[in-house]
Amino acid sequence: MERMGKWLIIFVMLLLGFCHQVSAHTLWINLTDYSPRWHQDYGAATKLYMGWGHHYPAADFLRPEALNGLSMVGPEGDKKELTPGPGGLLATRVEFEGPGGYILCAVKKPGYYTMYEKGGKVHHKLGPKEGLEGVILSLYFEQYAKALINVGKVKGNPFEKPVGHRLEIVPLANPYSLKGDGGHLLPVKVLFDGKPAKYVRVYATYMGFSTRDDFAFATFTDGEGVARIRLLHWGPWLIKAVKKSTASGDMREKCDEISLTATLTFEVP
């Protein structure tokens, strides 16, 4: 009996870990060039491809219809809608009309995910928990992603204006003016419905740190919604903010938890 109890504990721990992994699918934006040079004769361009899953920089495929929008905000605040390219990574060529700071924005369609036990087996449902018994995990999720592009010579911080995502990471300094030698901190503000998101989890990692769901840095926002990321390495970076809350009101009939995730990608020279 003691041995069975030991194996039961191990099984539960593995199951909880699996639940966490499934519920933690993350959306982000990758770029082939985060700092394209500006040429007077033929401008500048880069390619974006969507990241989705647990393995940065590339994991699972994403269908175009899974997105609620893909757009670009220019240096003057003008917004341009983009059409994602074909294929699982949604590779899309992006062209720029002039030098400056550009922000690529992606929003995933919200939805529900439920894990439940029935007939001695664990089942997965991309929907609410209504009508189900043996619910292990049930959540409503929203996903937002931004990528910062530095085209040509850029002064100051052109990325500090929010784009309006429900959960959003806003850099309070231009990461392209910092260095990844461990001596520089990048302050970011996390906003929820346009207001500072206090005491939410913030994770950060750089390309090459791990091929698994590991992060090089973890912290919380303070009372002003600000977190400070120590730039430990040069190259592409991913910052993720996660805001979770217990479902209330009418949502309690559909899920147990509400999970919002925002990501920010950029490159440190």
Residue 9: its pLDDT value, please?
A: 35
Give the CA-trace dihedral at 79, 81, 85, 86, to 10 degrees: 150
Give the CA-trace dihedral at 181, 151, 103, 186, to 10 degrees: 20
Q: Which residues of the chain have pLDDT under 70?
A: 1-24
Residue 259: its pLDDT value, please?
A: 95
Residue 86: its pLDDT value, please?
A: 86
Compute the distance between CA of residue 74 and CA of residue 145 in angstroms, rounded to an integer: 16
Name the residue range of residue 170's domain.
Answer: 2-268
Amino acid at position 167, single letter: L
pLDDT tens per residue across span 202-260: 999 999 999 888 999 999 999 999 999 999 999 999 999 999 999 999 999 999 999 99
**Is the distance from CB of 138 to CB of 255 less than 8 angstroms?**
yes
Residue 37: its pLDDT value, please?
A: 93
Residue 135: its pLDDT value, please?
A: 96
Q: Which residue has the tokens 């390619």?
A: 47
pTM of the shown model: 0.88
Residue 41: its pLDDT value, please?
A: 84
**Count of the separate structural domains present in the chain:** 1
pLDDT tens per residue across span 62-74: 999 999 999 999 9
